[in-house]
């Protein structure tokens, strides 16, 4: 039997008496593309935060490729192959694109700063960073500062920073948010091109792109899993209509 | 035995004084999100005002009230003139309060000179009180009682009045308070007044024990910091409990290990920081 | 190193070398020496403030503790200069390692408050622990040492010694600025959460920066003790921490030249004012308020922007 990429069991978390996650269980197999849907406040990003380790759950467990990570600090999860992008851009605005990706690569090396020496002498790593930028079509922008670039380019940088680490499980939080139709198409193609040895969990409100991308869909509401199934099953289910139309 | 009883009472009186100092500090921090580093200087200013008024034969409690009002007014001006224009720049605000602390300290030195100025306790409260054969310094009991009354009044103000409800809402979540129409900037003035007023009154009431001297500000500010680090920011019960802990440790520390009175203070702070960095009663502020 | 960078460093060396020629009197050279020592202190604090985004109000600890280390070892135990200096540097750095653990339990204003409280604790210890520190009277050294056969008693050799160390400090911090670690430290300043999500140990990066700042602060502390040949609780006081902070903010946090410019300006003002009136603290306070209100980014970035604007 294959070990799941991610197995969440009965995860629960409340903030000051308000339950944000209530007994969520999820199993995601290697190579899968899973879409999380649900209205605003359904607990999608909160679930990402817990998978990433931003805060610890009150109860339940999380396993990454068969290893329990429930109480591990974020960086250890990252070193085990977890990657993430944010809905709200979190970049290093005063640095160049290249240095943003370099920070990502230094992070995945895991401490032990092999370089107290100058960053620019680490040509192998910078080469790798440049490749990651080329991979998202930002090869020419490598030496521009984040503050001098367009929103669409920053979105792609966000993706490049996650992909440069060669994650095994990638959490994408609304990678299309705020993009024009043309930019959406670019990112859609980029997402399609991610090799199948990367497992992806996606939160996305652009249903055209998201539904085409996903193998399986999980519907969340009020911090609970309402429904899980293939695209056709979830679309056909009356509970989906109920959640979205506030039945 | 006499030593322990007297020192315990001294500790309680010191705790009461620290509460007067740190309750305002904690509330200001809770609401404005800045540690007011001029708070020790405001306390000292209260002591000097009190010493001056007492020298002109004013009634002790009236002198405390007048000094408190004067210091409170200075607090309001400080907030309105200097801090408000730096809204959003918390680090800048802290540095400004530090600058004001230096200016107040220097002007006090200029005005009142370098020699300590004693503040006499009210005549009726000076003789020791005898309970069960032990002599208690009467004035310290009064200080303790006064601080507890202030704590009760503050608690009533915060829990039972409209102003208090608005302050609590502001401490809990400032953005939320603003969005439901609470006049947050007027609240800032009110809390700054209250905090500075308490510090000023505390300076006078503490005067007979501490007297007014250059450096009183630098002695008191770290005590307020430790109280708030211990008790948690913006919490009145935290300030009360923290004050008595710090008062006790400071007082017994000074009596038993005079060389290390300050270092001893450091121990409870270390323990709390290691176990619960938000302080005993603290919450994470939003 | 590129040609331009080499030229810049040569210019810095030249500027440092020309000072003894321009200031022939021992009095003025002494003031220049004070300024350079505070420049090292401000540079060390800038690691925390400028690069790490951590505002410390207790940096006098790393000036005062090693200064007391030098004074006690020299005057009470009779150690020779080299072991004394090594001990003082180790003492200051170890203090930073310990205090860093405590202060980094919090961030932002909590960090500021804890560093302030820890600084006051050390000040109080120096003030009260009379047996070791001489209390308010402080400890007076019997003279400057002879290091590697060079007697540092006179103003000129001591100035050259301090200038060499400042040059080294500038070079090391310039390297830090360009290193992977420097990039990580700035990353934790701008986006700590993202840094965690990229696999960085944010706490360790900050703590390392804290220790590094403590080390370079200790370097300034050793020089301070030999410069004034005297140490008192003033070296550990809140005004001393605040002055260092003001030097960084006034000159420009996060720049290499800023803390040096700030240190020179503040030392000059302090020297000039002290010779006329005794109101340094009022002026210090006013300077704080003016700097924060009028030029929050500091002199060096301000002038750089102005020059850029003129060229455009």
The correct CATH number of C23-311 out of 1.10.1660, 1.10.3470, 3.90.870, 2.30.29 is 1.10.3470
Predicted pLDDT of residue C241? 94
Measured CA to CA, the distance from residue B127 to residue B123 in angstroms comes to 8
> Residue A229 is inside which H or E element, if any?
strand A224-230
Q: Residue C105 is nearest to which of B107, B265, B273, comparing CB atoms?
A: B273
- Residue B145 falls inside a structural domain: yes
Measured CA to CA, the distance from residue A25 to residue B59 in angstroms comes to 71
Nearest to C163 by CA among C303, C20, C294: C20
Measured CA to CA, the distance from residue C64 to residue B60 in angstroms comes to 42
Q: What is the mean pLDDT of residues C68-94?
A: 94
Give contacts of C199 with chain A, Cβ < 8 Å.
75, 78-79, 107-110, 165
Q: Do C187 and A118 touch (CB under 8 A)?
A: no
| Per-residue exposure over A111-133, b if at least 16 CB sit within 10 Å of its own CB, e if not | eebebeebbeebeebbeebbebb
Predicted pLDDT of residue B286? 38
Measured CA to CA, the distance from residue A137 to residue A190 in angstroms comes to 9
Q: In this predicted model, what pLDDT tens digit does every residue of A110-144 receive, in sequence order? A: 655 555 667 777 788 888 888 888 888 888 888 88
Give contacts of C124 with chain B, Cβ < 8 Å.
222, 261-263, 265
User: What angle (nearest 5°) sits at the alpha carbon of residue A103, between those of residues A98 and A106?
Assistant: 120
For the cut 70, the answer to whether the pLDDT of residue C312 exceeds it is: no
What's the token pair of residue B111? 């005005």
Q: pLDDT band at A202, cuts 50/70/90? A: very high
Measured CA to CA, the distance from residue C115 to residue C242 in angstroms comes to 12
Residue C249 in contact with partner chain B when CB distance is under 8 A: yes
Q: Do B102 and C112 touch (CB under 8 A)?
A: no
Cβ–Cβ under 8 Å, residues A70 and A44: no
Predicted pLDDT of residue B126? 75
User: Phi/psi zone of residue A53: left (φ > 0), alpha (ψ -120 to 50 degrees), beta?
Assistant: left
Predicted pLDDT of residue B163? 84
Predicted pLDDT of residue C147? 85
Q: Which CATH number covers residue B235?
A: 1.10.3470
C142: Cα within 13 Å, side-chain hemisphere:
10
Q: Residue C121 is nearest to which of B95, B99, B265, comparing CB atoms?
A: B265
Q: In this predicted model, what pLDDT tens digit does every residue of A7-45 receive, in sequence order? A: 999 999 888 777 888 889 999 999 999 999 888 888 888
Give contacts of C187 with chain A, Cβ < 8 Å.
92, 103
B neighbours by CB contacts (3+ pairs under 8 Å)? C
What ipTM was assigned to the predicted interfaces of this complex? 0.87
Q: What is the mean pLDDT of residues B249-274?
A: 80
Burial class (CB in 10 A: 0-12, 13-18, 19+), A200: buried
Q: Residue C292 is nearest to which of B86, B225, B269, comparing CB atoms?
A: B86
- Residue B283 falls inside a structural domain: no
Residue B266 in contact with partner chain C when CB distance is under 8 A: yes
- Helices A97-109 and A123-135: crossing angle, nearest 10°? 120
Q: Do C296 and B266 touch (CB under 8 A)?
A: no
| Cβ neighbour number for residue B95 with a 10 Å cutoff | 27
Q: What is the mean pLDDT of residues C109-120?
A: 88
For chain B, the domain total comes to 1
Predicted pLDDT of residue A114? 59
The one-character DSSP state at A89 is -
Q: Residue C117 is nearest to which of B103, B110, B222, comparing CB atoms?
A: B222
Q: Do C190 and A84 touch (CB under 8 A)?
A: no
Predicted pLDDT of residue C216? 97
Residue B277 in contact with partner chain C when CB distance is under 8 A: yes
> Residue A23 is inside which H or E element, if any?
strand A18-28
| Domain residue limits at B155 | 2-275
Predicted pLDDT of residue C309? 79
In DSSP terms, which residues pair with A59 in a beta bridge?
A12
Q: What is the mean pLDDT of residues C17-41?
A: 90
Contact pairs from chain A to chain C, CB under 8 Å: 89
Measured CA to CA, the distance from residue B185 to residue B178 in angstroms comes to 9
Q: Do C293 and B96 touch (CB under 8 A)?
A: yes
Nearest to A92 by CA among A156, A172, A153, A154: A154
Burial class (CB in 10 A: 0-12, 13-18, 19+), A246: exposed
Cβ–Cβ under 8 Å, residues B17 and B251: no
Q: Do A165 and C199 touch (CB under 8 A)?
A: yes
Measured CA to CA, the distance from residue C190 to residue A92 in angstroms comes to 6
Instruction: Annotate B114-182 with DSSP letters as a single string.
Output: SS-B--PPPGGG-SPEEETTEEE-HHHHHHHHHHHHHHHHHHHHHHHSHHHHHHHHHHH-HHHHHHTT-
Predicted pLDDT of residue A142? 84
* Cα separation values, C222 from C32, C89, C148, C168, Å: 17, 7, 16, 15
Instruction: Annotate C15-68 with DSSP letters as a single string.
Output: HHHHHHHH--SHHHHHHHHHHHHHHHHHHHHHIIIIIT----S-TTHHHHHHHH
Q: Residue C125 is nearest to which of B94, B262, B274, comparing CB atoms?
A: B262
Predicted pLDDT of residue B205? 93
Q: Residue C281 is nearest to which of B106, B222, B229, comparing CB atoms?
A: B106
How close C186 comes to chain A (CA, Å)?
9
Mean pLDDT of chain C: 90
To the nearest whole percent, how much of chain A has pLDDT over 90?
A: 33
How close A111 comes to chain C (CA, Å)?
7
- Please give the radius of gyration of chain B, using alpha carbons only, rounded to the nearest integer: 18
> Residue A67 is inside which H or E element, if any?
strand A67-68
For the cut 50, the answer to whether the pLDDT of residue C58 exceeds it is: yes
- Residue B285 falls inside a structural domain: no
Residue A121 in contact with partner chain C when CB distance is under 8 A: no
Predicted pLDDT of residue A110? 64
For the cut 90, the answer to whether the pLDDT of residue B222 exceeds it is: no
What's the token pair of residue C82? 């080299």
Give contacts of C116 with chain B, Cβ < 8 Å.
37, 222, 225
To the nearest whole percent, how much of chain C has pLDDT over 70?
A: 99
Predicted pLDDT of residue B86? 85
Give the chain B residue nearest C132 (alpha carbons).
B259
Instruction: Annotate B27-81 with DSSP letters as a single string.
Output: HHHHHHSS--TTHHHHHHHHHHHHHHHHHTT--HHHHHHHHHHHHHHHHHHIIII
B120-129, B232-241, C135-144: the lowest-pLDDT one: B120-129
* Cα separation values, B160 from B153, B157, C128, C245, Å: 10, 6, 45, 43
Nearest to C258 by CA among C270, C249, C266: C249
Q: Which long-range contacts (CB under 8 A, 24 or more apart) does C12-19 make?
A: C12/C167, C12/C170, C13/C167, C16/C163, C16/C166, C16/C167, C17/C163, C19/C159, C19/C163
Give contacts of A114 with chain C, Cβ < 8 Å.
180
State residue B157 phi and psi, 5-degree precision.
Answer: -60, -45
Domains of chain A by start residue, with CATH:
1-81+167-247 (3.40.50.300), 91-166 (no CATH)
Q: In this predicted model, what pLDDT tens digit does every residue of C194-231 receive, in sequence order? A: 999 999 999 999 999 999 999 999 999 999 999 999 99
Predicted pLDDT of residue A247? 45
* Cα separation values, A42 from A22, A28, A165, A172, A194, Å: 11, 19, 29, 16, 27
Q: In this predicted model, what pLDDT tens digit does every residue of B44-74 receive, in sequence order? A: 999 999 999 999 888 999 999 999 999 999 9
């Amino acid at each position: 039997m294959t070990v799941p990429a991610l197995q969440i069991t009965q995860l629960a978390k409340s903030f000051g008496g308000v339950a944000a996650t209530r007994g969520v269980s999820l199993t995601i197999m290697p190579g899968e593309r899973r879409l999380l849907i649900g209205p605003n406040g359904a607990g999608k990003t909160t679930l990402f935060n817990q998978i990433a380790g931003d805060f610890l759950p009150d109860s339940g467990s999380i396993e990454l490729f068969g290893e329990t990570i429930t109480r591990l600090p974020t960086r250890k999860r990252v070193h085990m192959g977890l990657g993430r992008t944010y809905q709200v851009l979190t970049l290093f605005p005063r640095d160049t694109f290249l240095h943003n990706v370099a920070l990502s690569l230094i992070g995945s090396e895991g401490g032990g700063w092999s370089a107290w020496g100058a960053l620019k002498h680490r040509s192998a790593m910078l080469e790798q960073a440049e490749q990651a930028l080329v991979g998202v079509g930002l090869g020419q922008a490598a030496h521009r500062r984040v503050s001098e670039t367009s929103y669409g380019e920053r979105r792609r940088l966000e993706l490049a920073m996650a992909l440069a680490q060669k994650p095994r499980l990638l959490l994408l939080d609304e990678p299309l948010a705020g993009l024009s139709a043309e930019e959406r198409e670019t990112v859609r193609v980029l997402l399609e091109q991610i090799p199948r040895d990367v497992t992806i969990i996606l939160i996305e409100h652009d249903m055209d792109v998201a539904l085409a991308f996903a193998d399986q869909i999980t519907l969340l509401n009020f911090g609970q899993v309402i429904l899980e199934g293939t695209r056709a099953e979830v679309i056909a289910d009356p509970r989906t209509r109920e959640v979205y139309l506030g039945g | 035995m006499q030593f322990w009883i007297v020192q315990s009472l001294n500790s309680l009186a010191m705790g009461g004084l620290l509460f007067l100092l740190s309750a305002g500090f904690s509330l200001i921090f809770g609401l404005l999100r800045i540690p007011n580093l001029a708070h020790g200087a405001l306390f000292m200013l209260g002591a000097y005002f009190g010493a001056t008024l007492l020298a002109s034969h004013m009634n002790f409690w009236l002198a405390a009230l007048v000094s408190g009002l004067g210091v409170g007014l200075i607090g309001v001006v400080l907030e309105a003139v200097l801090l408000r224009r730096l809204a959003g720049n918390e680090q800048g605000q802290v540095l400004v309060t530090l600058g004001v602390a230096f200016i107040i300290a220097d002007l006090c030195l200029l005005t009142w000179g370098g020699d300590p100025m004693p503040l006499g306790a009210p005549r009726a409260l000076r003789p020791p009180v005898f309970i069960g054969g032990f002599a208690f310094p009467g004035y310290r009991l009064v200080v303790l009682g006064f601080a507890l009354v202030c704590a009760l009044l503050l608690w009533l103000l915060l829990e039972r009045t409209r102003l208090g409800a608005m302050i609590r809402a502001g401490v809990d979540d400032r953005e939320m308070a603003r969005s439901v129409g609470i006049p947050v900037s007027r609240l800032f003035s009110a809390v700054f007044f209250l905090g500075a007023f308490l510090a000023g009154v505390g300076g006078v009431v503490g005067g007979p024990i501490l007297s007014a001297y250059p450096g009183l500000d630098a002695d008191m500010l770290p005590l307020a910091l430790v109280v708030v680090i211990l008790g948690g920011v913006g919490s009145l019960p935290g300030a009360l409990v923290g004050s008595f802990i710090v008062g006790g440790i400071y007082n017994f520390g000074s009596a038993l290990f005079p060389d290390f009175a300050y270092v001893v203070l450091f121990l409870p702070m270390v323990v709390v920081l290691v176990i619960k960095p938000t302080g005993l009663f603290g919450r994470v502020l939003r | 190193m590129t040609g331009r960078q080499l030229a810049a460093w040569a210019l810095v060396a030249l500027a440092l070398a020309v000072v003894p020629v321009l200031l022939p009197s021992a009095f003025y050279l002494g003031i220049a020496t004070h300024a350079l020592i505070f420049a090292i202190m401000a540079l060390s604090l800038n690691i925390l403030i400028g690069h790490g985004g951590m505002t410390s109000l207790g940096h006098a600890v790393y000036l005062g503790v090693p200064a007391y280390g030098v004074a006690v070892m020299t005057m009470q135990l009779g150690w020779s200069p080299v072991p004394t200096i090594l001990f003082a540097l180790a003492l200051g750095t170890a203090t930073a390692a310990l205090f860093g653990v405590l202060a980094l339990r919090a961030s932002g204003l909590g960090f500021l408050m804890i560093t302030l409280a820890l600084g006051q604790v050390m000040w109080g210890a120096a003030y009260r622990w009379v047996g070791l520190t001489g209390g308010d009277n402080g400890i007076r050294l019997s003279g400057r040492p002879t290091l590697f056969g060079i007697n540092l008693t006179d103003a000129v050799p001591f100035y050259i010694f301090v200038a060499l160390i400042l040059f080294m400090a500038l070079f090391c911090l310039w390297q830090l600025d360009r290193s992977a670690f420097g990039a990580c430290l700035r990353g934790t300043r701008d986006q700590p959460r993202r840094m965690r999500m990229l696999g960085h140990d944010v706490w360790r990066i900050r703590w390392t920066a804290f220790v590094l700042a403590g080390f370079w602060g200790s370097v300034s502390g050793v020089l301070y003790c030999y410069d004034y040949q005297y140490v008192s609780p003033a070296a550990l006081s809140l005004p001393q921490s605040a002055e260092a902070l003001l030097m960084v903010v006034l000159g420009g946090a996060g720049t290499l030249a800023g803390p040096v410019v700030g240190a020179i300006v503040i030392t000059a003002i302090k020297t000039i004012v002290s010779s006329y009136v005794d109101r340094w603290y009022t002026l210090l306070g006013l300077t704080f308020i003016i700097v924060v209100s009028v030029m929050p980014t500091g002199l060096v970035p301000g002038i750089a922007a102005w020059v850029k604007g003129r060229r455009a």
